[in-house]
Amino acid sequence: MNHINQWEIVILQVDVKIGQPDLNWIHIKNKIYQIVGQWESGEIKKPDVIVLPEMWNTGYALAEAHKLGDVDGIETRNYFGAFAKRYSINVIAGSIASVEDGKVSNRAMVFNREGVEVISYRKMHLFTLMDEEKFLIAGDEPGLFELDGIPCGLMICYDIRFPELFRKYALNGAKVVFVPAQWPNPRLHHWRTLLTARAIENQMYVVACNRVGQSEETTFFGHSAIIDPWGERVVEGSDEECVIRGSVDLDLVANVRLRIPIFADRRPECY
């Protein structure tokens, strides 16, 4: 494979209707094919990676997720595997409520340009303030994978509060970590600060896709973003539905790690 030094990334920052998977599927497909039409008409560059938010199929209808979720993730796998292969695009298919043997997980899937599912990651850290542990099965395997030969990592929302997992990805060579999320008001400051800190301290790109809209009493602020290894924002969304596009210079990761050699200067024997 030729050396890949840049990705064009598209983030789909969308509303999610709680407990209405049919409507959410229609909405996601419409957004995706708007993007297809734009690059086929020459309006935008063809993306290398498309990124979706967390639990976009059902929203946080946790009590009904065992009835509403995608059984064994089959619908998601069939659709995005075929889409990725047809258009030769990598897809971070957000995360979904996936029903397996009657149990529900918050599962994220990634498909490469050949339509192959390269990782299936279950959310590792469940948010007890929303009773996730009462309805969901936690994952226990890290989300390390490669796209176009580039080492990457995968987290879901609350996972970003746990720097140990980010560091594990960095020590395994990850250059980009993708974060599907449903991060709500009023914690915008936490969202922006944590994403920035994780990018700086691990000298990597962080690509985060957060939803917008309202579910019951909870509102979501969007502000999906691409953050570079210096902690600078390549692009950031608003609090409305939007398609966010940005370029990632993958060579910058090695450059930053060379200029400030934090990994060589670590002293893990002391902590």
- Choice among 117, 123, 175, 209 that is catalytic: 123
Token pair for residue 270?
A: 């002391």
Task: Phi first, then psi: give them for residue 94, nearest 5 degrees.
Answer: 55, -150
- Choice among 117, 132, 152, 157 that is catalytic: 157
**Is 157 among the residues known to form the active site?**
yes
**Is 152 among the residues known to form the active site?**
no
**Is 123 among the residues known to form the active site?**
yes
Residue 17's closest CA among 209, 216, 179?
Answer: 216
Which residues are identified as catalytic? 54, 123, 157
